[in-house]
Structure formats: C-alpha cells, structure tokens
C-alpha cells in the first residue's frame, strides 16, 4: 500500500512539473504576442495579459507544490541539523502537522471561495468562470497535504544537510 501511494505521488509530482512547464511556455509565448500586437500592429490584443495572469496563478501554486515535495522551499536547516534524532523527528512531525493544518485550511476555504465566485465570469473571457482563477488554491492545498502524508510515510521531514559549511567553502576559494 505504501509503495503504491509513493508511486502515485511520483506521478502527481511529474504531472505538476509538466503543467507548470506548459504554463510557463504559454506565458512566455503570449506576452511577446501582446507586445507585438500593441506596438507593431498598433492594435492591442485584450486577451494575452489576463491569460498570462491566470496562468501565473496556476504556475505559482503548482511550483509551490513542487518545491515543497523537493525540499526547495525556504527553511532554516541548521536548527534541525543541530538536534539529535529524537528531537529532530519531533520537530519534523510538529512542522508537518502545522503544514497539514495550513493546507487543509487552503483546501477547505479555497473550495468555499470557488463556490462563491463560480457564477461570475472573467471580463476578457466571458465563458470562463472567476472560480477557475481560484481553483489552484484548494488544489495546491490538497496536493501539498498529499505530499505531507508522503513525508510522514517516509519520515523524510528535512532536506539532507549540505556538504560542508558555507564558511568553509568561502574561505577555501
């Protein structure tokens, strides 16, 4: 069961990376198009900027999920590295329980936000609901919570300590 869950989390992680990459490529493509139509054709397209903003929201939440799973988020690593095995584990459990609570909050209230705004439309895209722009909030919370469960299964709460000390690296260069 644990192996299946971990394999599923690998697949979810790859899907997040793929979707974030697609969003980045599309943003990178449509922004120059907006600039081209505005300054070269002298007839600005109305859709590139709002679409880029919508995709940036999705990119931000997906990237946060990816960074959380890969231990790339901002953290103070020297405190856990100073602790012994027991206190380090206790600190990791405490931090992950706080993260789980935060992400369940995002999930629960994100759904409420979507329900509240679902029947409104985005001005530049009348067929698209405003709720779509808020979908990344509960989705990001849910996926991060799933990756938090993965951390509990692996007991992998902190990134490995860095090789050597930064001061050693600076002084030897």
Residue 88's Cβ-count burial label (10 Å; 0-12, 13-18, 19+) is middle
Alpha helices in 40-173 (DSSP H): 48-69, 78-82, 85-117, 130-134, 136-154, 166-172
CA dihedral (152, 153, 155, 160) in degrees, to 10, reads: -100
What would the pLDDT profile of 118-130 be if each residue is shown by its tens digit? Answer: 999 888 888 889 9
Checking if the pLDDT of 150 tops 90, the result is: yes
Contact 127, 121 (CB under 8 A): yes
pLDDT recorded at residue 80? 82
- What is the per-residue pLDDT across 10-59, written as a single tens digit (0 to 9) for each? 999 999 999 999 999 999 999 999 999 999 988 888 889 999 999 999 99
pLDDT of residue 4: 95
66 has pLDDT over 90: yes
Burial 117-127 (b: 16+ CB within 10 A, else e): eeeeebeeeee
> Is the per-residue pLDDT at 78 higher than 80?
no
pLDDT level of residue 164 (50, 70, 90 thresholds): low
Any residues with CB less than 8 A from the CB of 68 and at least 6 apart, and which?
99, 144, 147
pLDDT at 3: 92
**Domain boundaries defined on the chain:** 2-159
Distance CA 132, CA 53 (A): 12
Is the pLDDT assigned to residue 100 strictly greater than 70? Answer: yes
Question: For residue 146, which of 87, 106, 111 has the smallest C-alpha distance?
Answer: 106
């Amino acid at each position: 069961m644990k192996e299946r869950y971990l394999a599923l989390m690998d697949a979810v992680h790859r899907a997040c990376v793929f979707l974030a990459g697609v969003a980045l490529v599309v943003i990178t493509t449509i922004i120059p198009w907006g600039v081209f139509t505005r300054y070269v054709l002298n007839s600005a397209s109305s859709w590139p900027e709002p679409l880029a903003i919508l995709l940036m929201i999705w990119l931000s939440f997906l990237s946060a999920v990816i960074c959380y799973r890969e231990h790339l988020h901002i953290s103070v690593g020297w405190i856990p590295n100073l602790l012994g095995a027991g206190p380090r584990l206790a600190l990791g459990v405490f931090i992950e329980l706080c993260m789980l609570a935060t992400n369940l909050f995002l999930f629960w209230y994100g759904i409420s936000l979507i329900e509240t705004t679902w029947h409104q439309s985005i001005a530049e895209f009348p067929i698209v609901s405003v709720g779509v722009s808020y979908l990344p909030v509960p989705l990001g919370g849910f996926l991060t919570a799933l990756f938090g469960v993965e951390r509990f299964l692996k007991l992998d709460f902190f990134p490995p300590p860095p090789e050597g000390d930064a001061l050693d690296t600076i002084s030897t260069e």
